[in-house]
Amino acid sequence: MKLLPKCKPKKNWLNSQTWKVMKLSTILFVVLTFQVSAGVSSQTIAVSGKKVPLKKVLSDVKKQTDYVFFYDVNLLKDTPPVTINLVDASVEKVLAEIFKNTSITWVIQGKTISLISRPEIPKSTTELSLIKRQINGKVYDDKGQPLSGANVKGKGTSIVAKTDIDGSFSIELPDTINSLIISFIGMETLEVPVTNSPMTIILKSEGQKLEDVVVIGYGTTKRKDVTGAISTIKTTEIPKGANTSIDQALGGRAAGLIVTQTSGQPGAAPTVQIRGNASFASYGVLYVVDGVPIDSGADEPGSGSPFGAGVSRSPLNFINPNDVESVEVLKDASAAAIYGARAGAGVILITTKRGKKGEPKVNYSFTGAYQEPADFYDILNKQDYMVERNRITKEKYLLTQKIAPYGNTDPSSVPAFVPKFSQSEIDNAGTGINAIDAVTQSGFIRQHDLSISGGTDKTKYFVSGNFLDQEGVIKTSSYKRYTGRINLDQMITDKLKVSVNVVETKSFSDNASIGTGENENAGIILSAFYHPPTVDLIAPDGSYPLNPDYKNSPNPLSFLENTDETILNRLLTSGYVEWEIIKDLKARGNFSYDQSHSKRNVYLSKLFLYGLRNGGVASISEYSSNTSLAEYTLAYKKTLNENHHLNGIVGYSYQVRSRDGFSAGNSQFLTDSFLFNSIQVGQAPRPSVSSSKDEQVWASYFGRLGYDYRGKYILQGSIRRDGSSNFAENKKYGWFPSVSAGWKISNEEFMKKVPVISFLKLRASYGTTGNSNIGANAFAFYTAGGGANYTFGNTQTTGVYQSQIANPELSWETAAEINLGLDFGLFNDRITGTFEVYDKTISDLLSYKPLPSFSIVSSVASNVGKTQSRGFEFTLKTINIKSNDFSWITDFNIAHNKDTWKERDPEVVKTLRKFVGVNDPIRAIYGYQTDGILQIGETVPAAMPGLQPGMVKVKDLNGYDANGNLTGKPDGQLSSADAVYLGNADPGYSYGFGNTFKYKRFDLNIFMYGMFDRVKYNDDMAVAYDLSSKMGAFGWNALDMVKDRWASDNTSGKNPSGLINPYGSYTGNFFREKADFLKCRNITLGYTMTKEMFPNQKIFESLRLSIDAQNLFTVTPYSGIDPELSSFIAYPAQTSIILGLNVIF
């Protein structure tokens, strides 16, 4: 049976109108809201004519409404023309009039009107009573075939009937029941209102829901018509939990999308990658929110100190995750090429919620989370510290005196060993105070979200407000955010539509000084490692004692005296005007203005070591970013002879981003009382003041053309010409084309004989995207101050020097990608999936080429080298069980990617070590092969003279000949010739695995994700080794694992002895470990109550209670804290227990 969908073009949500002032948007909202109450509650149309074919009438209805017709093409063949004259009539009245003398009936489901033959229903012999009524009808699938065995249930009751072999049903219900719930395995469950006439009900296939609309660049399309690699993530499937931005929840949700949370600090941005990271100048993933490309906005200001507090904020932090409707991930170049120069790393399209026709709906939710570090370091308590310090001190004594096992000296011939702590002191020490416990705490999150939505045929609105309050697990860290949103859609006339979107966010962050420095520049976590438990954390007089053996490391508790706060404001106003010029042709103008401002205030107290040495340190830094966008498009969509479907769009885009910054710092304050509020009173000899400004402009032309023949063969091509101000005049513009094709094999006649295959489509694409993220480095740059200052007599004068040389040949970095895909559905879409293979090559990499030592500057921005990314992706969804009360659905995805060098700059190749392959992985790890720990009595390796027991042995594998070439044979000495490839820091595979169970009103979701085929440097082991070696000299504390270090009294210890190793730089793979992992991301249990359970209450439509465990456990061979974290001193990830409440009124 051939089915013909007659579809009106979907109205887009691409937004952009420049509303620079929030007040103007508020006025618009108030004005348009009045139209909500004034608008009519149902669509009315006018249809007239004599002897008009039914197809023509349906076309007139389609033009005047948003409805889509779905019917068998043969259904209207023998129907006579009609004479009709209706004005201000409802759609139902028009349909009743034109079909009153035919065998055709219809059913309206949302915006779909399905036409089918009127079923032969025997007349009921039972008269309707006042208490019960008989409801009859038939149930069909979306191909027009009757469904046998479908469940027909009265909503809110236990009354159930099943359809017969011809799809017919009959059910007797109380007359107070007004809805039926229809369900069938492999089909979407449908709720329909009860009618007194025979009902015709059509169920759609579940699985991938191929009729769903997918958002693409500058438009939408049906999922079944997609020819590129696009993954859709519905936010209804993602527990929001403890996530402060939507990108934090995306890890493992789509094949090829890798989301790594490298820091657990409140508000911290995850690292997001699509199909690897083979560029060194990438903007990162391009986010497009409601049609507006966005960036990170105002930069996170620096702290003005060596401690590196604060984090990189996500570009999506200003968006309330509860406002997000769906997320589309454009993975291949054909899908992303329409965005050209900024799409080289992939594109993520975010669509926020909008109002729908209906009465106002109020939605309130609350989440409260309790958090603890998912895993954290065990450091030595006071008693263990005394024991271990005595042990390492004794081991150094034995080595120094060359007493066995480090020599043959007679112990009686040298001074006796004197321990640092006596046995009596150790016995009476107790556990003391744990410095890690002193600077950590339980974390909490409180979040309130309220939204109101609704509308009429002409006006639709969505308004929301959100408050988030997070208290971090490291003291001094917190994050508060206030977010408000208004989304309005207004039909001015039947052909003119206006949309306005406004989102404003204000956030406050207290930053924990994590840092990456050491010794006196150590952050709060490393200082807690250093601090000996034998030294009080705070003295009776309120001061913070320092380690008497090493007074250059700060007291960890003294960090709490510092003030470090970031305030961020962001306002994104966007909108569009859309005009239907003639049938099938629409013009649209998108406008947006994105304003953000960040300010950071820092004061380092004189009670803190660094502040004490500098008399208190204050700094204030501010950054602003303003981006304006104007885009103009013409879109055309046409169907010819019901077999040929054309669509196209052309457009022009102009975007300007300007940024400026200012900072001031001072020190030597008389008192801490004023913090950073009186920065001018500091007495520093040379206070710091700096400012900056830059501007970038993009001008682009773009177009896309698509063709579909009979729903079987799809062709699509796009092209974009981008211009960027980053390049010299002759290199400003780049071309980025793409082409793709799809073949719906399942629509071929020969495939319809294979009932097991419900959908099968083959896709192929080729496209190019670009990158211009090199700043203004194509141009010469001059800097004042620094080394150019000159002293005339006794006066120092500021000089100017050239800090950057121009490169007029600097050009676009270009990524070309081939993608092959297969989409399938089996057993009526009970099993659906996608398989992709791809090959992407990035040419003319933007980077910096070193210059000879006699040059004015050390490097110049250049196009150097070529990289390649290859891989595959597999996605599978199965509906394992679906019955009336119970369902079980499984989602699984896995992706493989490998980024390698394909071509390197010749000058760089000359400097490569011999063990480095020209085509090695981009983030290859090289080092030395170790051979365990040298034991007592074991022969010392010939290449490592002087190596002592307890130290790491290294294999002598190779050597150099007289010409500097590798010999492939040991040469009796350790050198760079012995280094080998140890593995790849990038994961070879990433995956996600989820199960959703529903039983009556209960739902349970379990989601896991992970990575494997990667190696990582185990900072924890290396630090334990380093701290234990410095415990004796500096008195530092150490990690608990030092108890298992090798020593003369513990020769079975797994860790090196901690003695200074003359070959310490050759430890190689001893501290390298496999960093594969599987994380339990979420376990969510929910219970939903509906109004039918409480017939006497009129307050709420539904109420849902949930509990969610996030980051519950990790399975990994990695012995460190967390294989995802960036380093051993990173802010720890948290395990969260979240209680949720959602009420819809």
For the residues of 373-432, what is the DSSP string, one character each?
ESS---B--HHHHHHHHHHHHHHHHHHHHT-TTS----GGGSPPP--SS-HHHHHTT---
Q: Which two tokens stand for residue 167?
A: 């799809």
Task: Give whichever of 3-12, 1024-1033, 1056-1065 has the largest mean pLDDT.
Answer: 1056-1065
Every domain of the chain and the residues it spans: 3-203, 213-350
3-state secondary structure of 789: coil
Spatial distance between the Cα atoms of 1100 and 1047, rounded to a whole number of angstroms = 69
Would 3-203 and 213-350 be classified into the same CATH topology?
A: no
Query: CA geometry: angle at 842 spanning 840 and 845, to 5°?
Result: 165
Whether residue 454 contacts residue 32, with contact meaning beta carbons closer than 8 Å, is answered with no
For position 1094, what pLDDT does the model report?
A: 81
| Percent of residues, the chain, with pLDDT higher than 70 | 92
Which is nearest to 1047 in space by CA: 383, 379, 396?
396
For position 309, what pLDDT does the model report?
A: 60
Spatial distance between the Cα atoms of 1104 and 1110, rounded to a whole number of angstroms = 19
- What tens digit of pLDDT does each residue of 218-241 get? 988 888 889 999 999 988 888 877
Which is nearest to 525 in space by CA: 510, 515, 539, 538?
515
Spatial distance between the Cα atoms of 874 and 865, rounded to a whole number of angstroms = 31
Quick check: 41 pLDDT over 70?
Answer: no
User: Tell me, what DSSP letter sits at residue 4?
Assistant: E
For position 44, what pLDDT does the model report?
A: 75
Q: Which helix (H) or strand (E) holds 881?
A: strand 866-882
Spatial distance between the Cα atoms of 152 and 657, rounded to a whole number of angstroms = 57
Q: Which helix (H) or strand (E) holds 362?
A: strand 358-373
Spatial distance between the Cα atoms of 766 and 227, rounded to a whole number of angstroms = 11
Spatial distance between the Cα atoms of 79 and 90, rounded to a whole number of angstroms = 22
Q: Which residues pair with 352 in a beta bridge?
A: 324
Residue 1021: φ, ψ to 5°: -65, -45
Q: Which helix (H) or strand (E) holds 526?
A: helix 524-530
Average pLDDT over residues 802-820: 89
For position 616, what pLDDT does the model report?
A: 95
For position 1063, what pLDDT does the model report?
A: 85
Peptide bond into 405 cis (omega under 30): yes
Lowest mean pLDDT among 314-318, 538-542, 578-582: 314-318
CA dihedral 971, 976, 977, 981 (to 10 degrees): 130
Spatial distance between the Cα atoms of 19 and 487, rounded to a whole number of angstroms = 13
Spatial distance between the Cα atoms of 1044 and 1021, rounded to a whole number of angstroms = 11
- What tens digit of pLDDT does each residue of 323-346 get? 999 999 999 999 999 998 888 899
What's the predicted TM-score (pTM) here?
0.81
3-state secondary structure of 827: coil
Between the alpha carbon of residue 718 and those of residues 11, 340, 706, 732, 733, the distances in Å are: 20, 10, 9, 20, 17
Whether residue 470 contacts residue 443, with contact meaning beta carbons closer than 8 Å, is answered with yes
- CATH entry, 213-350, from 3.10.20.740, 3.40.50.10860, 2.170.130.10, 3.30.160.270: 2.170.130.10
Whether residue 593 contacts residue 15, with contact meaning beta carbons closer than 8 Å, is answered with no
Query: Which positions ≥6 away from 598 have C-beta within 8 Å?
Result: 297, 298, 299, 300, 301, 566, 567, 568, 569, 622, 623, 624
Q: Which two tokens stand for residue 898?
A: 């490998």
For position 209, what pLDDT does the model report?
A: 52
For position 12, what pLDDT does the model report?
A: 37
Quick check: 536 pLDDT over 90?
Answer: yes
Whether residue 580 contacts residue 586, with contact meaning beta carbons closer than 8 Å, is answered with yes
Whether residue 1014 contacts residue 1076, with contact meaning beta carbons closer than 8 Å, is answered with yes
Between the alpha carbon of residue 1018 and those of residues 735, 1009, 1040, 1073, the distances in Å are: 44, 21, 15, 7
Helix 1019-1034, helix 382-401: angle, nearest 10: 70
State whether the Cα torsion 316-317-321-324 is positive or negative.
Answer: negative
Calculate the average pLDDT of the chain.
Answer: 87
Quick check: 261 pLDDT over 70?
Answer: yes
Q: Which helix (H) or strand (E) holds 613?
A: helix 609-613
Q: Which helix (H) or strand (E) holds 588?
A: strand 585-604
Neighbours of 288 (CB within 10 A): 22
Average pLDDT over residues 995-1015: 95
Quick check: 186 pLDDT over 70?
Answer: no
3-state secondary structure of 342: helix
Scan for tokens 């402060």, then name that residue.
244
Spatial distance between the Cα atoms of 56 and 50, rounded to a whole number of angstroms = 11
For position 540, what pLDDT does the model report?
A: 93
- What tens digit of pLDDT does each residue of 610-619 get? 999 999 999 9
Q: Which residues pair with 475 in a beta bridge?
A: none
Quick check: 956 pLDDT over 80?
Answer: yes
Between the alpha carbon of residue 884 and those of residues 200, 440, 828, 887, the distances in Å are: 20, 49, 18, 8
Lowest mean pLDDT among 69-83, 230-244, 534-548, 638-652: 69-83
- What tens digit of pLDDT does each residue of 699-724 get? 999 999 999 999 899 999 999 999 98
Q: Which helix (H) or strand (E) holds 466?
A: strand 459-471
Spatial distance between the Cα atoms of 76 and 53, rounded to a whole number of angstroms = 9
Neighbours of 959 (CB within 10 A): 19
Which is nearest to 273 in space by CA: 251, 291, 289?
251
Spatial distance between the Cα atoms of 25 and 27, rounded to a whole number of angstroms = 5
Spatial distance between the Cα atoms of 797 and 795, rounded to a whole number of angstroms = 6
Q: Which helix (H) or strand (E) holds 333?
A: helix 333-336
CA dihedral 319, 322, 324, 330 (to 10 degrees): 80
For position 127, what pLDDT does the model report?
A: 37
3-state secondary structure of 1016: strand
Under CATH, to which class is 3-203 assigned? mainly beta
Q: Which residue has the higher pLDDT, 128 or 174?
A: 174
Query: Which positions ≥6 away from 321 have C-beta within 8 Å?
Result: 235, 240, 243, 244, 245, 246, 249
For position 308, what pLDDT does the model report?
A: 64
- What tens digit of pLDDT does each residue of 885-936 get? 899 999 999 999 999 999 988 878 887 888 888 889 999 999 999 999 999 9
Q: What residue type is assigned to position 572 of the chain?
A: L
Q: Which two tokens stand for residue 986?
A: 């990038």
Spatial distance between the Cα atoms of 544 and 609, rounded to a whole number of angstroms = 9
For position 857, what pLDDT does the model report?
A: 84
Q: Which helix (H) or strand (E) holds 59?
A: helix 54-64
Query: Is 308 buried (19+), middle (13-18) or exposed (0-12) by CB count in 10 A?
Result: middle
| Percent of residues, the chain, with pLDDT higher than 90 | 57
For position 7, what pLDDT does the model report?
A: 36
For position 208, what pLDDT does the model report?
A: 44
Q: How confident is the model at residue 211 (pLDDT cuts 50, 70, 90)?
A: low
Spatial distance between the Cα atoms of 719 and 650, rounded to a whole number of angstroms = 9
- What tens digit of pLDDT does each residue of 110-148 get? 677 877 776 554 443 333 334 678 899 999 887 777 888
Query: CA geometry: angle at 486 spanning 484 and 489, to 5°?
Result: 170
